[in-house]
């Protein structure tokens, strides 16, 4: 745990040397502890940029903080501040454009291409190494600078004429020399910050935290200048950092499986440790955005994801003893892709295309000796509702379909209503009048009285609503008229014209159906979870994160739902991860509904992003494409190559003024789509020309590495985090890094 030590002198040269070593040198792994002005941070340490090119910075402390000006030494400017406001020197950003002409894993090849390009084109040519996403060792050949995108597009036409076709425009921000914080406001006192100074914010005690932009953070803050404007950097232990990453990348509320969260924690830890120093020239390691990994500090922490981080502390994924580039994607659409097809660079043995499915997916049969055919009321199949009432003990379980079609008696209705009212603590004293006809008017009056809904009927239905609902219904008592209007306006009955003959005798199916709707205004008696495993007639499920064991009765109603259709069947199959609903708390379950997804073995199929469609006009798409390629009026898009996952990895763009080829992630960026896994349909105008493009696709993300939804589904099926990681990262091992 952090330890707070107070110092009684004002300048701390020795502490500065310690911090300089910490900031400037690579992270060291182990149990060593780093003290900064008495505040302890466990190694390994990571530096996260919470903001870049900031102007107004408000920082708060939960229980006080020390503030230092730092340059060649440290000057204490506040011993115990609760709030500080800083004014950064926000640089006016300009932009320039460069054109990437090629790349290679070998520097010599890149240099040779650069030489050829220089000889042919005669513009500024240079070679740079791309270290984004951990893909070090990729040397890119670029030419420029161009002050406008139009100049870059014009130059691409020249390159095309020289035989360079796979080219790409890159926009780069340009700032003036390193900016700096200008002043800090403390206790209504304005303190100027001299050139070259940085400002350090140190929590007053180990349990304190700092707040920026309404989010709380562990560790310390540094505000300093850079060539990207004023920066706010959060310095903290890697494990504390991960507690603010894992729930942002894989929500423990939506994806509440510990083993999936452990897999995410190891992937995020591996990515972070491998990329420490990635932005070292700016004084930090990673961004707090999807550019690196989403990081929202303590404000997003959750007990379940914190547990995943704690229980995998120091665990990383390695290949041949080295940290892997642990890329991950939200929804892979059925299969992940080879990394070299999506990102610049060559093949990586552990980032190969993998089908997002299990070789063996156990399915378990459940059978019942009880069923109920479809029964229709107002065109809707009401058998599932009747089965639910039977499982609750309101209706007799053995009633057959023919009996449900017969008129209900007063004694039966009384018994049903008494059982129903008892579910929510009501006692029905008066039976339905002996010998009285049971029609819609008398039925609604009896339910209103039995459930004590008179106040509802008087006060929750407006006079004009009531008059309109029962217009023309004159031959009934005042009580029946009031009850009917309440049932119709509140949606328990259909409108009066739909009832047709309202005063005919109600049958048992109708009486049961409308009783079920009345009960539903109080509560939903079904419970929901997902299947973990099944042994015989015992079902292991997870409900709200808690394991439950359900005994399925031999005479249970078994239902399967698909879209809006629910059927009662003599037998159903369940598999790990299937969502189920059931009724029953004590004893065997007599109602079990299996919620079916479309028939698919793909693990991430239930994701809302598994399938998507985007329709865009040719003009709008043409405008977007011409920001990257000078093709003029868009004629067509032609997929030319697909990867192992069927993602489009090479796309031909046909225009009236030229053609271009987009590859890998550039395709998704240029078209502004969720993923590269799509097909293209074309809508034609009256003259037969393309008017709209329709993209029907699957997945969300770059499609490389760990599929997060697939990992969650594997965990739902009882698979551990190590097996999950080894499925998506081929040939890796898990190791303890510290």
Report pLDDT digits (tens) over 318-348. Answer: 999 999 999 999 999 999 999 999 998 889 9
pLDDT exceeds cutoff 60 at 681:
yes
Strand order across the beta sheet in which 659-663 lies: 634-642, 648-655, 659-663
Asked if the structure places residue 643 within a domain, the reply is yes
Mean of the per-residue pLDDT values of the chain: 87
| Residue 317 binned pLDDT confidence (cut-offs 50, 70, 90) | very high
Between residues 92 and 537, the one the model is more confident about: 537
The pLDDT tens digits of the residues spanning 173-182 come to 655 555 666 7
pLDDT exceeds cutoff 90 at 359:
no
Asked if the structure places residue 605 within a domain, the reply is no
Assign residue 99 the CATH number of its domain: 3.30.70.1070
Contact of 27 with 43, CB cutoff 8 Å:
yes
The reply to whether 136 and 80 lie within a common domain is no
The reply to whether 205 and 310 lie within a common domain is no
Residue 223 to residue 671: CA distance in whole angstroms: 37
Asked if the structure places residue 277 within a domain, the reply is yes
The reply to whether 412 and 502 lie within a common domain is yes
pLDDT exceeds cutoff 70 at 95:
no
pLDDT exceeds cutoff 90 at 274:
yes
Q: What is the pLDDT of residue 155?
A: 80
pLDDT exceeds cutoff 70 at 498:
yes
The pLDDT tens digits of the residues spanning 595-648 come to 876 667 889 988 888 899 999 999 999 999 998 999 999 999 999 999 999 999
| Residue 36 binned pLDDT confidence (cut-offs 50, 70, 90) | low
The reply to whether 160 and 208 lie within a common domain is no
The reply to whether 42 and 76 lie within a common domain is yes
Quick check: helix, strand or coil at residue 14?
A: helix
**Averaged pLDDT for residues 247-276:** 96
Q: Which of 241-245, 394-398, 706-710 has the lowest mean pLDDT?
A: 394-398
Asked if the structure places residue 514 within a domain, the reply is no
Asked if the structure places residue 346 within a domain, the reply is yes
Q: Which of 37-46, 162-171, 345-354 has the lowest mean pLDDT?
A: 162-171
Q: What is the pLDDT of residue 178?
A: 54
Residues 6+ apart with CB under 8 A from 635: 654, 655, 656, 690
- Of 242, 209, 178, the residue nearest 48 (C-alpha): 242
Domain of residue 308 covers 247-354+700-738
**Averaged pLDDT for residues 365-379:** 91
Q: What is the pLDDT of residue 15?
A: 39
The reply to whether 256 and 347 lie within a common domain is yes
Annotate 616-659 with DSSP letters as a single string.
EEHHHHHHHHTTTS---SEEEEEEEEE-TTS-EEEEEEEESS-E
pLDDT exceeds cutoff 60 at 287:
yes
The reply to whether 88 and 197 lie within a common domain is yes
Q: What is the pLDDT of residue 651?
A: 97
The reply to whether 252 and 346 lie within a common domain is yes
Q: What is the pLDDT of residue 526?
A: 94
The reply to whether 529 and 381 lie within a common domain is yes
- What's the helix, strand, coil split of the chain in %, to 5? 25, 35, 40
pLDDT exceeds cutoff 60 at 478:
yes
Q: What is the pLDDT of residue 13?
A: 37
pLDDT exceeds cutoff 90 at 557:
yes
- Count CA atoms within 13 Å of residue 428 on its CB side: 23
Note the maximum CA span of the chain: 106
Q: What is the pLDDT of residue 195?
A: 67
The pLDDT tens digits of the residues spanning 642-677 come to 999 999 999 999 999 989 999 999 999 999 999 999
pLDDT exceeds cutoff 50 at 514:
yes
Neighbours of 660 (CB within 10 A): 23
Quick check: helix, strand or coil at residue 358?
A: coil
- Of 329, 165, 325, 171, the residue nearest 676 (C-alpha): 329
**Averaged pLDDT for residues 575-600:** 86
**The domain boundary residue, chosen from 155, 171, 187:** 171
Q: What is the pLDDT of residue 229?
A: 79
The pLDDT tens digits of the residues spanning 141-156 come to 888 777 777 777 778 8
Neighbours of 665 (CB within 10 A): 18
| Residue 33 binned pLDDT confidence (cut-offs 50, 70, 90) | low
CA 661 to chain centre: 32
**The domain boundary residue, chosen from 571, 600, 629:** 600
Asked if the structure places residue 436 within a domain, the reply is yes
In this structure, what token pair is assigned to residue 682? 């074309």
Asked if the structure places residue 606 within a domain, the reply is no
Based on the structure, what is the number of domains in the chain?
6
**This prediction's pTM:** 0.79
Asked if the structure places residue 607 within a domain, the reply is no
The reply to whether 255 and 331 lie within a common domain is yes
Q: What is the pLDDT of residue 90?
A: 59
The reply to whether 431 and 498 lie within a common domain is yes
**Averaged pLDDT for residues 185-207:** 81
**The domain boundary residue, chosen from 217, 243, 269:** 243
Q: Which of 106-120, 289-303, 338-352 has the lowest mean pLDDT?
A: 106-120
The reply to whether 345 and 371 lie within a common domain is no
Q: Percent of the chain, pLDDT > 90?
A: 62
């Amino acid at each position: 745990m952090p330890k707070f030590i107070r110092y009684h002198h004002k300048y701390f040269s020795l502490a500065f040397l310690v911090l300089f070593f910490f900031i400037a040198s690579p992270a060291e792994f182990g149990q060593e502890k780093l003290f900064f002005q008495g505040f302890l941070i466990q190694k390994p340490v990571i530096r996260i940029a919470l903001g870049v090119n900031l102007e107004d910075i408000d920082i708060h402390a939960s229980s006080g903080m020390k503030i230092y000006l730092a340059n060649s030494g440290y000057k204490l400017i506040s011993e115990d501040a609760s709030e500080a406001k800083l004014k950064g020197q926000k640089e006016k950003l300009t932009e320039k454009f460069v054109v990437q002409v090629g790349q290679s894993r070998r520097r010599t090849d890149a240099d040779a291409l650069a030489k050829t390009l220089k000889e042919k084109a005669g513009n500024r040519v240079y070679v740079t190494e791309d270290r984004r996403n951990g893909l070090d060792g990729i040397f890119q050949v670029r030419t420029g600078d161009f002050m406008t995108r139009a100049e870059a597009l014009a130059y691409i036409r020249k390159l095309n004429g020289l035989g360079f076709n796979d080219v790409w425009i890159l926009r780069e921000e340009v700032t003036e020399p390193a900016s700096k914080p200008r002043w800090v406001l403390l206790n209504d006192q304005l303190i100027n910050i001299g050139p070259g100074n940085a400002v350090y914010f140190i929590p007053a005690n180990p349990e304190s935290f700092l707040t920026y932009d309404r989010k709380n953070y562990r560790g310390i803050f540094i505000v300093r200048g850079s060539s990207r404007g004023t920066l706010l950097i959060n310095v903290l232990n890697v494990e504390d950092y991960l507690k603010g990453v894992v729930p942002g990348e894989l929500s423990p509320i939506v994806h509440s499986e510990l083993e999936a969260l452990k897999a995410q924690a190891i992937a995020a830890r591996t990515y972070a440790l491998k990329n420490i120093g990635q932005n070292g020239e700016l004084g930090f390691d990673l961004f707090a955005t999807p550019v690196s990994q989403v990081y929202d500090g303590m404000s997003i922490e959750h007990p379940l994801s914190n547990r995943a981080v704690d229980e995998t502390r120091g665990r990383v994924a390695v290949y041949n003893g080295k940290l892997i580039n642990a890329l991950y994607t939200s929804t892979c659409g059925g299969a992940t892709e080879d990394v070299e097809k999506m990102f610049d660079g060559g093949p990586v043995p552990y980032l190969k295309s993998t089908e997002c499915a299990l070789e063996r997916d156990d399915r378990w049969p459940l059978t019942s000796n009880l069923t109920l055919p479809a029964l229709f009321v107002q065109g809707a199949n009401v058998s599932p509702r009747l089965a639910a009432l039977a499982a609750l003990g309101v209706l007799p379980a053995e009633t057959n379909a023919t009996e449900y079609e017969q008129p209900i008696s007063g004694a039966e209705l009384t018994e049903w209503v008494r059982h129903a009212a008892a579910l929510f603590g009501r006692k029905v004293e008066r039976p339905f009048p002996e010998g009285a006809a049971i029609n819609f008017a008398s039925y609604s009056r009896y339910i209103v009285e039995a459930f004590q809904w008179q106040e509802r009927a008087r006060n929750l239905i407006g006079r004009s609503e009531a008059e309109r609902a029962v217009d023309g219904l004159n031959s009934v008592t005042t009580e029946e008229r009031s009850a009917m209007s309440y049932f119709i306006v509140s949606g328990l009955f259909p409108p009066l014209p739909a009832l047709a003959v309202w005063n005919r005798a109600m049958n048992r199916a109708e009486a049961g159906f409308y009783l079920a709707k009345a009960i539903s205004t109080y509560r939903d008696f079904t419970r929901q979870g997902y299947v973990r495993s099944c042994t015989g007639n015992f079902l292991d499920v997870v409900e709200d994160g808690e394991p439950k064991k359900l005994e399925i009765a031999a005479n249970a109603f078994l239902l399967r739902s698909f879209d809006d259709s629910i059927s009662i069947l003599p037998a159903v199959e369940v598999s790990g991860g299937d969502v189920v609903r059931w009724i029953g708390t004590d004893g065997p379950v007599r109602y079990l509904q299996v919620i079916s997804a479309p028939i698919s073995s793909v693990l991430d199929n239930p994701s809302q992003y598994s399938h998507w469609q985007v329709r865009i006009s040719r003009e709008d798409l043409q405008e977007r494409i011409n920001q990257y390629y000078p093709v003029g009026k868009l004629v067509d898009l032609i997929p030319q190559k697909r990867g192992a996952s069927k993602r489009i990895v090479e796309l031909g763009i046909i225009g009236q003024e030229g053609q271009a080829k987009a590859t890998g992630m550039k395709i998704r960026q240029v078209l502004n789509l969720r993923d590269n896994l799509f097909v293209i349909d074309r809508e034609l105008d009256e003259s037969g020309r393309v008017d709209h493009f329709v993209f029907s696709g699957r997945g969300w993300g770059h499609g490389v590495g760990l599929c997060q939804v697939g990992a969650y589904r594997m965990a739902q099926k009882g698979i551990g985090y190590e097996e999950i990681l080894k499925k998506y990262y081929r040939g890796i091992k898990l190791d303890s890094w510290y």
